[in-house]
Amino acid sequence: MKNHWLSPFLLATLLIAAAGCSRKANTIVVQLDWVAEPEHGGFYQALAKGYFKAAGLDVAIVPGGPNGNVLQKVASAKAEIGQSDSTNAILAIAQSAPVINIGAVFQNDPSVLMLHAENPITRFEQLNGATIMARPEWAFLPYLRKKYGIDFKIVPQNFSVANFIVDKNFIQQGYYIAEPYHITKGGAREPKYLYAWDAGFDAYTVLIANQPWAAAHASQVRAFMQAYIHGWQDYLEGDPTPAHELMKKANPNNTDEFLAYSRAKIIAEKLVVGRQNGSVAQIGRISPARFQTQLNQLEELGILEKNRLKVEQVMTTAYLP
């Protein structure tokens, strides 16, 4: 039979499909929410010191960036596990995304409002009429509006501290374990902060997993969480150099000085172990009560449909040691 005209196309399709299947079947892809930084210390230390390997896991860490799309990637199983914040994870679950919160990175989300030290604003009520640069989807913003009866304008986050350094009245959402380093390096004074938890809005920085995948690989997920928690503990209490070497490779912009600064901040602020009554036993733990509070708050804000979600649908402690 003469060469069928379709065969080159069939061959091309097969080759493309094969290329797409190059990921080994047992790799766990972890999608980070940002470029590699000390907030990812648990992953990188566990990877560098072989904790994942010892548990029989092949873990690939994929750094993110300004538009990491962690939720989309985990929902569509392009990544099995991702780092996100609990609020947006809840809202994605409400949109039927098949993800679930499986553990904590930080007991408290370090997203705060950064202000210049000279800025006269000291209380949330005084933000009325201000212009704030923040991620527009940050649920803390409508929470503030509702709680204090104020309104303000939002400029979408551009992930640069240039505007902040230049304008003394600038107010910007930031991770207070990282941004201040770049701000002071840029010549401005250390900013002051308004903490979301002081207003009663206390989210987690979480690990999310693709729910069907996690359910089908429960023992792997448990082993992963065990290794991750061990990695965090070792990173915070021991020598962070193995993790920092990997972070520098993943992001050449990381300097030893910055990495040390951010790690020191994480330790001093007790973000991993818990700001109140914190302990090593608390690492990675998530509380159904806190998630229920978040659900209630989001429902009250009208962002989440009432009675749309139960706590069991958004989080599970089944994979924690």
Partner 1 sequence: MKARWQIFLLPIGVGLTALGLWSATCHVFSLPIYILPTPLDVVRAIFSEREALLEAGRNTAIVTLIGFPLAVVVSAGLSVLLSLSPTIRTSVFPYLMALQMTPIIVVTPILLLWFGSGLASTVLITFLVSFFPLVVNTTQGLISTDAHLVELFRMSRATRWQEIVLLRVPAALPYFFTGLRISAILAPIGAVVGDFFAGSSSGGIGGLGFRTVIYSAQLKTPALFATAGVCCVLGFALVSIVYFLSWLCLHQWHDSFAQRDR
Residues near partner 1, by CB under 8 A: 71-72, 75-76, 88, 91-92, 95-98, 131, 133, 135-137, 153-156, 158, 162-163
To the nearest whole angstrom, how small is the minimum distance from the Cβ of residue 295 to partner 1?
16
Report the run of H or E that residue 227 belongs to, with start and end: helix 218-237
Dihedral, 25, 214, 57, 272 alpha carbons, nearest 10: 140
To the nearest whole angstrom, how small is the minimum distance from the Cβ of residue 135 to partner 1?
7
For residue 40, give the DSSP letter: G
Spatial separation of the C-alpha atoms in residues 34 and 279, rounded to whole Å: 26
- Closest to partner 1 by CB, 116 or 244: 116
- Closest to partner 1 by CB, 133 or 247: 133
Q: How many C-beta atoms lie closer than 10 Å to residue 193's C-beta? A: 15
For residue 35, give the DSSP letter: S
To the nearest whole angstrom, how small is the minimum distance from the Cβ of residue 210 to partner 1?
12
- Closest to partner 1 by CB, 313 or 317: 313
To the nearest whole angstrom, how small is the minimum distance from the Cβ of residue 154 to partner 1?
5
Spatial separation of the C-alpha atoms in residues 89 and 305, rounded to whole Å: 15
- The torsion angles phi and psi of 156, rounded to 5 degrees, stand at -60, 140
Q: Which residues contact 210 (CB under 8 A, 6 or more apart)?
A: 74, 75, 77, 79, 80, 81, 98, 99
- Closest to partner 1 by CB, 3 or 129: 129
Spatial separation of the C-alpha atoms in residues 266 and 4, rounded to whole Å: 63
- Closest to partner 1 by CB, 128 or 317: 128
Q: How many C-beta atoms lie closer than 10 Å to residue 228's C-beta? A: 27
- Closest to partner 1 by CB, 158 or 219: 158
To the nearest whole angstrom, how small is the minimum distance from the Cβ of residue 3 to partner 1?
32
Spatial separation of the C-alpha atoms in residues 259 and 107, rounded to whole Å: 20
Among residues 242, 222, 217, which one has the least CA distance to residue 231?
242
To the nearest whole angstrom, how small is the minimum distance from the Cβ of residue 75 to partner 1?
7
Spatial separation of the C-alpha atoms in residues 307 and 295, rounded to whole Å: 9
Relative to beta strand 153-156, strand 131-134 is parallel
To the nearest whole angstrom, how small is the minimum distance from the Cβ of residue 137 to partner 1?
4
- Closest to partner 1 by CB, 54 or 162: 162
